[in-house]
Amino acid sequence: MIDMTELIDDWAILLEAKYDFAYAEDMLNMEEYLDLVEKSYNAIKEFYAKVDGLKKVLPQEIMEYMNLLEEISMYAAPCYVDESENNTFALSRIIAEELAALAANYNYAKEDEEIPFKEGVLSSVTGFDYEIERVLYYDVKEKDTSDFSEVAKAIGF
């Protein structure tokens, strides 16, 4: 099982700097961030594989998973600032939002008929809030953020 302690710590560091990113006082290293998203996705996938396989999940593993979900979710929460000042931050927050949603509902996402599930791909309907009338996709391995970047550019408060 992937040790989630390092992932939790990395998300906590991002969370600490969240408002600096939001106000464009500091810039997020997007390459490192996308690597963290990929590692987190793999940890989520591995956790659910263990649960689905009816393998013994230790209370400590459940607690670590919940802590990881909490850190990702708190980073994903809106800041209620004009995120158009820093599209990189807006993009990172949207990706985190979809990662948290997947972490909370992995099995449901796999069975969703409206948005077909593809392993390794985060999907979002956030664009519909900004007149982007299609489902957006982000592949954690390819790290092509073009779909989600479109929404990040449209976000303003």
Tokens 């593993």 belong to 61
- Total Cβ atoms within 10 A of residue 33: 21
Q: Tens digit of pLDDT for each residue in 108-140?
A: 777 776 777 888 999 888 888 888 888 889 999
Residue 79 CB coordination number (10 Å): 15
Are the beta carbons of 39 and 7 closer than 8 angstroms? Answer: yes
**Phi, psi angles (nearest 5°) of residue 94:** -65, -45
> What's the rounded Cα separation, in Å, for the pair 20 and 13?
12
- Taking only the tens place, the pLDDT of each residue in 59-94 is 899 999 999 999 999 999 988 776 666 688 888 999
φ, ψ for residue 25 (rounded to 5)? -85, -20
Whether the Cβ atoms of residue 136 and residue 127 lie closer than 8 Å to each other = yes
pTM of the model: 0.89
pLDDT tens for 11-67 read 999 999 998 888 888 889 999 999 999 999 999 999 998 888 778 888 899 999 999
Whole-angstrom distance, CA of residue 40 vs CA of residue 34: 10
**Selection from 16, 14, 57 nearest residue 37 by Cα:** 14
